[in-house]
């Protein structure tokens, strides 16, 4: 039964009398601030300030306070010399080399290492990477992440980025898995489950595993090459956006909008933050520790003069690495280690740097290569689990193409700038 | 807030905004060159020069936020801009303080710093945001005033 | 199933549409007219659903070409759910259109958009009570910040047609009837 116009207005009048109240609500300061954080003109500077705070906290907490302040002293001045003095075998012994110190050749003589980046042993480099550097980076990262999440800033950052990213065919929501992956790629890949279509998941997983370095890796990079971090992030961001744009165009399927819950701002609850921090950090350690130690063993075995696999690979792959990417053959060992753990691999690069066999640009290229060339074993395993076979092969294929193209491109840019 | 308080707030934050803009410009120039230290004002970016340009952008925005909040200051949206600007200063200055705390605890060669070393870590020069910090706290008074009227 | 996005002109419907679909497919010019319309796809519980941005209309008793197209689209898509976008600061005007659509037997979700503006204008709306009276989901949304959208999408499958008599009863019978409705 349709109503007449008058009947309808009469009904509306009755409804609004019961539900609408003028002068009842006043815009609060919180509402006004919430508005400021999502409007691009004011929201962008705020986002820069927040990310600035995030990053400063990360560097000072993990780098200055724990790693440089205490852990380097503990491992290099106490743990390493102590192990070198009490561990059976001694320099040159294969088991000693695996566990404590492989040493390195200086003027034709095998000499002992004086820091845990160079020693390459399971009990030295392995433990140092996990407990000396990475643990603190992960703690700092997840602490800040949980804080932003609980305050309610994260979805707003996504909405803000959304307006910008739409122009190149990506959704702002992509920032959540990306951000999470900056802690560890594993929860990042897992978070792609919230994406709507297979195409979106495929894009996100591929981009994450290639262009997003994890907290462990960032922690080590920040420790080794702090002055390059800006350039490294810039290079990765360009790759992420550029290849994201291309993949979005060539991969078939739909890419619908992802609709997020945007809660009001609220005070974070200490208990929530602590429990999230605990869950994420302990999960991380469970994955990281076995892989780092295993990585140390495998790389260590390949390095043993009795096996000689690493030297052989360096000779075989060296010319290719040198001509295509412009990095020396020695980087083959960190690249191999990178299959297992990126943090360990960057740490090994640190060992090479201390031997002074690379130019600054080569260090830069190899650090970037380590970021992009292959996901770590744990992420790799998760990709097999999360993706269908066809997608997985697609991911790996795009990964290989992206690494070759982008790595080569960096080399070319380096040549053009005259620094390579 | 009453009219007198509004007037005072307008003048105060106009000046603070202008100072922030000046600091921002100085930091921008500093980031284009090597950075500089001028008396107790430190615009060298400390250990990490890559922070400098970002800090310049933030502090310039703070200046713009304060200045644009001045007109019709008592209005909630306008006040919110000044609040946001203050929060941004707190983030940057807070991190500068945190950086000093983190650097002050461990010693050079020893596990922990000596008392003199610990105290020396907090000596000037300070970055511009640290100078803005105490002045930005005035906004707390206005937020409390606003909360009163909200009730 | 299709979703029709309807509402007055200038209630932030196109931002609303972008928030829901992300990508636009222009299907300009409805056959035989000069009225543009847009459609896109959104994801609803694992399904792709077509979302049509119906030209802005004040009422279904059409006076201009855009309203004529709006009515035709509504009639052509009998099986669709209508998301009716209201300017929350002018609820009465928007409700007129919403009631017309409800009267025609469509399942409706009411979005009180520009919710932030109601706060600026010092207007309080009792969303729960409005929902009880209308008998259809009512969600407060702010297109610019994305607030309320998750809830809105979750309500699309829940809604069902409502008899107008029931709404009259809910509205007229005062508080007690509203609760029983």
Residue B66 belongs to what domain range? 3-150
Q: Is residue A190 part of a domain?
A: yes
pLDDT score for C102: 92
Cβ atoms < 10 Å from Cβ of A381: 14
Angle of CA points B101, B53, A346, to nearest 5°: 65
Going by pLDDT thresholds of 50, 70 and 90, the confidence category of residue A43 is: very high
- pLDDT, mean of residues B32-49: 70
Nearest to A12 among C96, C119, C122 (CB): C96
Q: What is the mean pLDDT of chain A?
A: 84
- pLDDT, mean of residues A301-330: 84
Q: Is residue A407 part of a domain?
A: yes
- Judging contacts by C-beta atoms under 8 Å, the chain A residues touching residue B77 are 27, 32, 35
Going by pLDDT thresholds of 50, 70 and 90, the confidence category of residue C23 is: low
What's the predicted TM-score (pTM) here?
Answer: 0.80
pLDDT score for C181: 37
Q: Using one digit for the tens of pLDDT, what is the confidence trace for C62-112? A: 788 888 889 999 999 999 999 999 988 888 888 999 999 999 999 999 999
> How many CB pairs (< 8 A) connect A and C?
134
Print the SS3 string covering C67-113: HHHHHHHHHHCCCCEEEEEEEHHHHHHHHHHHHHHHHCCCCEEEEEE
Does the CA dihedral A324-A328-A333-A338 come out positive or negative?
Answer: negative
Contact A262 C21 (CB under 8 A): no
A29 touches chain C (CB under 8 A): no
Chains in contact with chain A (at least 3 beta-carbon pairs closer than 8 A): B, C
Nearest in space to A185 (alpha carbons), one of A393, A407, A380, A6:
A380
pLDDT score for A235: 92
- pLDDT, mean of residues A97-115: 81
Bridge partners for B33 per DSSP = none
Closest residue on chain B to A234 (Cα): B50
To the nearest whole angstrom, how far is the Cα of A60 from the nearest Cα of chain B? 6
pLDDT score for B101: 92
Q: Is residue A10 part of a domain?
A: no
Chains in contact with chain B (at least 3 beta-carbon pairs closer than 8 A): A
- Judging contacts by C-beta atoms under 8 Å, the chain C residues touching residue A28 are 119
Q: Which two tokens stand for residue B112?
A: 């922990």
- pLDDT, mean of residues B43-54: 71
Asked whether residue A263 carries a pLDDT value surpassing 50, the answer given is: yes
pLDDT score for C174: 44
Residue A393 phi, psi dihedral angles, 5° rounding: -60, -40
Cβ atoms < 10 Å from Cβ of A120: 27
Asked whether residue A163 carries a pLDDT value surpassing 70, the answer given is: no
Bridge partners for C147 per DSSP = C142
Going by pLDDT thresholds of 50, 70 and 90, the confidence category of residue B58 is: very high
Residue A43 phi, psi dihedral angles, 5° rounding: -70, -35
pLDDT score for A271: 86
C105 touches chain A (CB under 8 A): no
Going by pLDDT thresholds of 50, 70 and 90, the confidence category of residue B22 is: very high
Q: What is the C-alpha separation between A352 and C70, in angstroms, rounded?
A: 70
Contact A35 B92 (CB under 8 A): no
pLDDT score for C180: 40
* Higher-scoring residue by pLDDT: A273, A356: A273
A62 touches chain B (CB under 8 A): no
- Judging contacts by C-beta atoms under 8 Å, the chain B residues touching residue A60 are 95, 98-99, 102-103
Q: Using one digit for the tens of pLDDT, what is the confidence trace for A361-420? A: 888 999 998 888 878 777 887 888 788 888 889 888 988 999 999 999 999 999 998 877
Q: Using one digit for the tens of pLDDT, what is the confidence trace for A151-160? A: 989 888 888 8
Q: Is residue A7 part of a domain?
A: no
Residue A252 belongs to what domain range? 36-417
Asked whether residue B31 carries a pLDDT value surpassing 60, the answer given is: yes
Going by pLDDT thresholds of 50, 70 and 90, the confidence category of residue A166 is: low
Asked whether residue A168 carries a pLDDT value surpassing 70, the answer given is: no
Contact A14 C171 (CB under 8 A): yes
> Alpha-carbon dihedral of residues A223, A225, A230, A235, nearest 10 degrees?
-120
A56 touches chain B (CB under 8 A): yes
Q: Is residue A250 part of a domain?
A: yes
| C-alpha of A102 from chain center | 29
Q: Is residue A201 part of a domain?
A: yes
Closest residue on chain A to B74 (Cα): A29
Number of domains chain B contains: 1
Q: Using one digit for the tens of pLDDT, what is the confidence trace for A171-202? A: 777 788 888 888 888 888 887 877 777 888 88
Going by pLDDT thresholds of 50, 70 and 90, the confidence category of residue A265 is: confident
Q: What percent of chain A has pLDDT over 90?
A: 12
Q: Is residue A4 part of a domain?
A: no
* Higher-scoring residue by pLDDT: A164, B44: B44
pLDDT score for B11: 95
pLDDT score for B57: 93
* Higher-scoring residue by pLDDT: B118, B62: B62
Number of domains chain A contains: 1
Among A106-110, A207-211, A400-404, B24-28, the range scoring the smallest mean pLDDT is A106-110
- Judging contacts by C-beta atoms under 8 Å, the chain C residues touching residue A20 are 91-92, 123-126
DSSP tag of B113: -
pLDDT score for C176: 41
Q: Which two tokens stand for residue A326?
A: 């412009």
* Higher-scoring residue by pLDDT: B49, C11: C11
- Judging contacts by C-beta atoms under 8 Å, the chain A residues touching residue C61 are 5
Bridge partners for C110 per DSSP = C84, C138
Is C94 within 8 Å of C13 (Cβ atoms)?
A: no
- pLDDT, mean of residues C33-39: 78
Q: Is residue A23 part of a domain?
A: no
pLDDT score for A177: 85
To the nearest whole angstrom, how far is the Cα of A28 from the nearest Cα of chain B? 7
pLDDT score for A26: 67
Asked whether residue C25 carries a pLDDT value surpassing 70, the answer given is: no
Is A372 within 8 Å of A403 (Cβ atoms)?
A: yes
Going by pLDDT thresholds of 50, 70 and 90, the confidence category of residue C175 is: very low
Domains of chain C as residue ranges with CATH:
2-180 (3.40.50.300)
Question: Which helix (H) or strand (E) element contains residue C139?
Answer: strand C138-140
């Amino acid at each position: 039964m349709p109503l007449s116009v008058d009947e309808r207005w009469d009904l509306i009048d009755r409804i609004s009398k019961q539900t609408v109240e003028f002068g009842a609500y006043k815009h609060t300061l919180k509402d006004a601030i919430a508005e400021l954080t999502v409007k691009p003109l004011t929201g962008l500077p705020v986002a820069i300030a927040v990310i600035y705070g995030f990053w400063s906290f990360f560097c000072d907490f993990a780098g200055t306070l724990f790693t440089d302040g205490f852990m380097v002293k503990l491992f290099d001045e106490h743990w390493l010399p102590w192990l070198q003095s009490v561990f059976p075998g001694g320099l040159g012994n294969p088991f000693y080399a695996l566990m404590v110190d492989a040493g390195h050749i200086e003027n034709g003589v095998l000499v002992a290492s004086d820091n845990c980046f160079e020693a390459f042993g399971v009990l030295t480099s392995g433990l140092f990477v996990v407990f000396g550097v990475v643990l603190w980076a992960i703690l700092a990262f997840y602490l800040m992440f949980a804080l932003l999440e609980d305050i309610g800033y994260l979805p707003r950052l996504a909405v803000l980025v959304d307006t910008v990213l739409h122009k190149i065919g990506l959704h702002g929501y992509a920032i959540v898995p990306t951000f999470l992956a900056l802690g560890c790629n594993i929860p990042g890949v897992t978070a792609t489950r919230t994406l709507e279509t297979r195409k979106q998941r495929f894009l996100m997983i591929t981009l994450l595993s290639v262009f997003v370095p994890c907290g462990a890796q960032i922690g080590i990079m920040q420790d080794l090459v702090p002055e390059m971090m800006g350039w490294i992030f810039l290079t990765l961001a360009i790759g992420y956006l550029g290849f994201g744009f291309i993949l979005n165009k060539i991969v078939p399927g739909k890419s619908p909008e992802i609709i997020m819950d945007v809660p009001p701002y609220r005070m974070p609850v200490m208990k929530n933050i602590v429990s999230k921090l605990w869950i994420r950090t302990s999960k991380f350690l469970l994955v990281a520790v076995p892989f780092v130690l295993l990585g140390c063993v495998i790389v260590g075995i390949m390095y043993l003069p009795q096996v000689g696999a690493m030297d052989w690979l360096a000779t075989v792959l060296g010319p290719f690495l040198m001509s295509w990417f412009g990095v020396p053959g020695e980087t083959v060992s960190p690249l191999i280690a990178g299959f297992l753990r990126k943090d360990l691999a960057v740490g090994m690069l640190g060992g090479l740097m201390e031997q002074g066999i690379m130019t600054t640009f080569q260090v830069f290229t190899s650090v970037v290569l380590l970021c992009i060339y292959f996901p770590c074993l744990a992420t790799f395993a998760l990709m097999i689990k999360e993706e269908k076979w066809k997608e997985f092969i697609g991911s790996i294929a795009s990964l290989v193409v992206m690494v070759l193209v982008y790595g080569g491109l960096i080399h070319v840019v380096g040549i053009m700038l005259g620094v390579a | 807030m009453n009219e007198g308080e509004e007037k005072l707030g307008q003048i105060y934050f106009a000046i603070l905004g202008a100072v922030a803009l000046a600091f921002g410009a100085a930091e921008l120039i500093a980031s284009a060159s090597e950075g500089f230290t001028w008396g107790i004002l430190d615009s060298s970016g400390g250990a990490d020069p890559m922070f400098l340009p970002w800090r310049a952008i933030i502090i310039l925005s703070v200046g713009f936020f304060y200045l644009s909040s001045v007109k019709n200051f008592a209005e909630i949206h306008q006040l919110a801009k000044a609040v946001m600007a203050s929060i941004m200063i707190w983030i940057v200055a807070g991190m500068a303080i945190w950086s000093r705390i983190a650097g002050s605890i461990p010693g050079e060669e020893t596990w922990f710093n000596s008392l003199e070393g610990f105290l020396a870590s907090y000596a000037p020069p300070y970055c511009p945001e640290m100078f803005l910090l105490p002045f930005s706290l005035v906004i707390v008074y206005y937020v409390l005033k606003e909360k009163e009227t909200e009730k | 199933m299709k979703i029709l996005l309807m509402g007055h002109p200038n209630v932030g419907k196109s931002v609303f549409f972008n928030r829901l679909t992300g990508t636009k497919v222009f299907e300009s010019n409805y056959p035989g007219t000069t009225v543009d319309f847009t459609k896109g796809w959104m994801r609803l519980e694992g399904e792709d659903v077509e979302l049509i941005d119906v030209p802005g209309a004040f009422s279904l008793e059409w006076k201009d070409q855009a309203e004529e197209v709006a009515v035709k689209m509504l009639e052509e898509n009998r099986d669709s759910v209508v998301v009716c976008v209201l300017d929350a600061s002018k609820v009465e005007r928007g409700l007129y259109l919403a009631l017309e659509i409800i009267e025609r037997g469509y399942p409706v979700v009411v979005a009180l958009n520009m919710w932030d503006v109601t706060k600026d204008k010092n207007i309080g709306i009792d969303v729960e009570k409005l929902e009880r009276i209308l008998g259809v989901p009512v969600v407060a949304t702010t297109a610019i910040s994305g607030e309320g959208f998750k809830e809105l999408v979750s309500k699309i499958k829940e809604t069902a047609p409502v008899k107008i008599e029931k709404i009259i009863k809910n509205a007229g019978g005062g508080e007690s009837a509203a609760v029983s409705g």
